[in-house]
Structure 1
């Protein structure tokens, strides 16, 4: 049994290396180059190289090893992580007056992740393909077309699922990290003095020597920790123990060896600043390294794209995005999903980014703002969870928050100067998704409130129908109702126009609970309201997809037998019209109408056979 557990942990740890650490694992391709050859003109010297290496070492230690690995990974919801999960946890024991602020922070963090999802694939793949300049300088004109071709292939195969492809992720990334370690170690052996940069003195000396420039140069050093949020977002696929073991045993040592190896190379040969990563390798290994880098960056991009899919599903199930088609590409792993609308939206955004910025150095200027912004929001939300949910000592939590923000706020502030150099792009992408999420949530709530305002009592209506029944027809009618104890709009219209009622009427409400999963024994609650009326409430977690066959199965277990082919589903369809509003709210209403027209319809969302559905429409001003 012990041997089996060890083997399982080893397999899970290897898988974590392939999925969780793809983004941060490809940062050595461009980070040190951007630190020293960026817009600041710091150049290669012992003070600058040692200073940046010391900053990178302590950022990896404090941000990743301590903040995320030790603290943030504790905040899981049934094993699930991510900024929206943290938002949900933070809001459970919070006063309602602070709830809006917590939701806003969570939505801003989630929106920022969409910006990251556009930049990461572009900068990762381009930085790998730029190795062509070292192999054959004459091929530099092919960097952009090759990057576009590789990413096009990546987005096209998303619909096939990552199950079979994912089996290659772990071995390839393991080879990648071992290659990072070997290349770095070779260079460190030639110049071991570079290890002096482990001393935090060099980080402080860097700030003293370069003064104001050193503060803004933090915006380049932060490239070394981009991808840290993936540790938390992907924890639902792996155990915390596996993620921690993978980091401390494989990933962190490999990254440090490579960064310090690049530093040693630069101090001996300053001219290698044009691409210190590839120039670490002997000439015979350049082409294999180029191919391995391309594979590694594709895997890093895949991990980010999958993270965007997971975030979108979470937002849809919590009601912050309209229902959309979600395809499950694996029968075994619920996390392997494909969302066509988001996939192609990301693809076209990535194409525009690559065609506009044309190099990874230019993209680096756009990178960092949304990442550091999400890090700061994560710190605040985590400390709220620690204080309110876990009842940690308030003084200890306040001290922890101060220490975390002491790192996050300078990193975010240092990146703000990038806004005019390209940082506006991920911010605009995040702002667009934030507007969409807040618009859908608030306008949909208003529509549901309007539909529930007809004032008739459900109990009174049922009593009246039982006392003076209309014409009864055989079979079961299911009326979907968004709110319990409210007369479904479809029922009102059916009685008004058809003046008939089925022998058995089920009022069905499907709820998304603020948890990832709901146990099957808690799935369905049934209440008999009268001899022929039943109220059914089906509960699902935000990682689950409602399924009408599954609901009927649980109803049968609870004593209410329904057969799909003997049941008619009555659903309401609202034809919405934007009424008189101020111009800004009118634009918001138009956006909501566009989202509603393109949202997945209820029969498709709940997997109801189309030939069993009857839709009754109504027109409504919003």
Structure 2
């Protein structure tokens, strides 16, 4: 477990600015609504200095313990060849369960459910962020309030419409704008802290403890609002592969954390001196003449935050496809230089439709705040549980026990936040849970269906080596050209070959058995990708391995094969690809319940064609159909 390090100061500075723009967009816009929701939420809490200091102390220690300690200091160490995210962590954890299928299943459930809940967060984040920014318009003029929802929807449509063009150009603007945003947060905070410097004393955890002792139930329920200051924390880990561990840590401790704390304390100071500012404490930090420019800057910052979450949703979906938990999808690379910049049309338009429905249904950021937090805290719990397994696998002795004790302490904090958010289920928290459960059901159904399908296809299969020997000794009619048989199992005879011999009774002069595998690492070095084995005078076996963040490409594989085996020349006009296409039908003794079988069949029919997914020339493909009973 190691992340590539950079020792070039200029390059590191560029990565830090990039991390500020992409990684911290979501958590950086949380001051827009966090403190307001603590007092304007559904819990009656008097606005007085004692309560303000208590909540500020909870926010301070939440940021320090959950973000600084758990994610920045501990979780970032668990990287999968430089890549992070809950699916990468799951892949690391699964290495400890190679011989224990029951344990592997439980770990897969944890990782996939956490990834599924991320889809709920991907929908709520753009809606709550942009709405909270535009609501500042009401401070400029009440006559503009009716335009908040239409403008929010227009911004969302424009944002999702630009996804197909990629984020390379917009990405260059992310860093400078977000640096400006954090500097403004800090300046506004300092200006107001000067008026009531006593708020800085709430750094003392006794203020949080005292608040809990004075209002135990209210304080517990308010954890559901305090957690809003932690939204986007998973991006720290998920985007590690793009920027590296040092850049993310420098960005957090040098600019992001100080700016957030100064702004929260500035809002607290404002509420102590001017309690009526609770209507919108963030915007009231600034003088009235600055409200309109601040609305513009806030909207830009929230759009950037939304962009980062949308890109994260694409990345998670891509990883799920490569790991076999999701059907093949149309995945488009939008940059020739950055592999991580992808666009998935189906996911994009589903997110846009869901965001618009959310905006129209909840209408205000306060209503959305009730739905926000459950997905975040549940994913936090899943990440900590997987980290337990990874620590136990990679560390030994006292170091392992030290990590386990620390993770146990952090798990208690995660569970406290999660428990408080369970109380918000009936107020809107059901939405990300329902969405997550749907995504989880789809992914687990696909995984289970593919396993059962592979088992059925293996029934009655013949060993490949012996079959090749029989073809060499008693060959059928041979025709000019080269045939490539795609097969998932490299040890047995491809069904497409058997069907071809049964119906066409011919075989090409050269035959290649091609198997493409996905490893549990994000990237596979080019020199390790392709293995070629000659099985006879005219038969070859090719096994190509890709990482779960890579896009498989058959032409790329064949180009490498030619370098390794010069006698194999893949002329497009002289090569044919043979594939099997399965149709799912109900068996006499069904292996799946009727609804899961129909769901799996529907997903199979709507999956991206193999030719598109593997970039195979469609005019050189022969598909051999077969029915499989499940």
TM-score calculated relative to the size of structure 1: 0.98
Deviations 1:413-457 (A, max 9, x none): 011000000000000010011001000001011112211212333
Identify which of 558, 564, 569 aligns with 2:577.
569
Deviations 1:46-94 (A, max 9, x none): 1110011000000000001111110000011111000010011011123
2:142 equivalent to 1:134: no
Alignment partner of 1:572: what SS? Answer: strand
Instruction: Give the Cα–Cα distance (whole angstroms) in 2 for the partners of residues 190 and 580 of structure 1.
Output: 78
Instruction: Give the Cα–Cα distance (whole angstroms) in 2 for the partners of residues 559 and 268 of structure 1.
Output: 78
Identify which of 353, 357, 360 aligns with 1:352.
357
- Structure 1 vs Structure 2 CA RMSD: 1.4
Deviations 1:216-235 (A, max 9, x none): 11110010011111000011
2:270 equivalent to 1:262: no
Alignment partner of 1:575: what SS? Answer: strand
Instruction: Give the Cα–Cα distance (whole angstroms) in 2 for the partners of residues 52 and 241 of structure 1.
Output: 31
Instruction: Give the stretch that moved more between structures: 381-390 or 486-495.
Output: 381-390
**CA contact 1:47–1:205 (8 Å) conserved in 2:** no
1:56 match:
59
2:186 equivalent to 1:173: no
Which stretches of structure 1, 4 residues or more, deviate above 4 A after TM superposition? 580-584
Count matched residues. 620
Q: Spell out the pairing of 1:196-207 with structure 2 (5 A cutoff).
A: 196-207=201-212
Deviation at 1:364, TM superposition (A): 0.3
Instruction: Give the Cα–Cα distance (whole angstroms) in 1 for the partners of residues 78 and 591 of structure 2.
Output: 42
Deviation at 1:395, TM superposition (A): 2.7
Instruction: Give the Cα–Cα distance (whole angstroms) in 2 for the partners of residues 152 and 584 of structure 1.
Output: 40
Alignment partner of 2:96: what SS? Answer: coil
Identify which of 602, 605, 610 aligns with 2:618.
610
**CA contact 1:37–1:43 (8 Å) conserved in 2:** no
Instruction: Give the Cα–Cα distance (whole angstroms) in 2 for the partners of residues 77 and 163 of structure 1.
Output: 25
Task: Flag the 1:583–1:380 CA change in 2: closer, same or farther, 3 A.
Answer: closer
2:14 match:
11
Identify which of 535, 539, 542 aligns with 1:529.
535
**CA contact 2:96–2:389 (8 Å) conserved in 1:** no
Alignment partner of 2:371: what SS? Answer: coil
Instruction: Give the stretch that moved more between structures: 579-588 or 3-12.
Output: 579-588
Deviation at 1:98, TM superposition (A): 1.5
**CA contact 2:483–2:577 (8 Å) conserved in 1:** yes
Task: Name structure 1 gaps, 5 residues minimum.
Answer: none
Instruction: Give the Cα–Cα distance (whole angstroms) in 1 for the partners of residues 557 and 223 of structure 2.
Output: 53
Instruction: Give the stretch that moved more between structures: 445-454 or 333-342.
Output: 445-454
2:44 match:
41
**CA contact 1:19–1:303 (8 Å) conserved in 2:** yes
Instruction: Give the Cα–Cα distance (whole angstroms) in 1 for the partners of residues 415 and 165 of structure 2.
Output: 41
Task: Flag the 1:582–1:526 CA change in 2: closer, same or farther, 3 A.
Answer: closer
2:456 equivalent to 1:450: yes
1:484 match:
490
2:3 match:
none
**CA contact 1:506–1:534 (8 Å) conserved in 2:** yes
2:520 equivalent to 1:517: no
Deviation at 1:458, TM superposition (A): 2.3
Deviations 1:282-308 (A, max 9, x none): 111111000000000000000000001
1:329 match:
334
Instruction: Give the stretch that moved more between structures: 157-166 or 544-553.
Output: 544-553
Deviations 1:570-621 (A, max 9, x none): 1111122234678981101111111111111111111111111111111222
2:79 match:
76
Instruction: Give the Cα–Cα distance (whole angstroms) in 1 for the partners of residues 592 and 48 of structure 2.
Output: 54
Deviations 1:334-374 (A, max 9, x none): 11110001001111111111111111000000011111111
Instruction: Give the Cα–Cα distance (whole angstroms) in 2 for the partners of residues 167 and 316 of structure 1.
Output: 29
Task: Flag the 1:46–1:582 CA change in 2: closer, same or farther, 3 A.
Answer: farther
**CA contact 1:549–1:564 (8 Å) conserved in 2:** no
Instruction: Give the Cα–Cα distance (whole angstroms) in 2 for the partners of residues 584 and 468 of structure 1.
Output: 41
Identify which of 570, 588, 597 aligns with 2:605.
597
Deviations 1:542-582 (A, max 9, x none): 11111122111211121252324121101111122234678
Instruction: Give the stretch that moved more between structures: 254-263 or 447-456.
Output: 447-456
2:551 equivalent to 1:545: yes
Instruction: Give the Cα–Cα distance (whole angstroms) in 2 for the partners of residues 232 and 528 of structure 1.
Output: 43
1:233 match:
238
Alignment partner of 1:443: what SS? Answer: helix
Q: Spell out the pairing of 1:579-594 with structure 2 (5 A cutoff).
A: 579=587, 585-594=593-602
Task: Flag the 1:392–1:262 CA change in 2: closer, same or farther, 3 A.
Answer: farther
Task: Flag the 1:578–1:346 CA change in 2: closer, same or farther, 3 A.
Answer: farther
Deviation at 1:392, TM superposition (A): 5.5
Alignment partner of 1:573: what SS? Answer: strand
Deviations 1:172-196 (A, max 9, x none): 1011000100111100111111112
Task: Name structure 2 gaps, 5 residues minimum.
Answer: 1-5
**CA contact 2:461–2:492 (8 Å) conserved in 1:** no
Task: Flag the 1:424–1:564 CA change in 2: closer, same or farther, 3 A.
Answer: farther
Identify which of 22, 27, 30 aligns with 1:27.
30
TM-score calculated relative to the size of structure 2: 0.97
2:282 equivalent to 1:277: yes
Instruction: Give the Cα–Cα distance (whole angstroms) in 2 for the partners of residues 214 and 479 of structure 1.
Output: 63
Task: Flag the 1:348–1:463 CA change in 2: closer, same or farther, 3 A.
Answer: same
**CA contact 1:472–1:503 (8 Å) conserved in 2:** yes
2:497 equivalent to 1:494: no
**CA contact 2:188–2:285 (8 Å) conserved in 1:** yes
Alignment partner of 2:43: what SS? Answer: coil
**CA contact 2:479–2:507 (8 Å) conserved in 1:** yes
Instruction: Give the stretch that moved more between structures: 171-180 or 443-452.
Output: 443-452
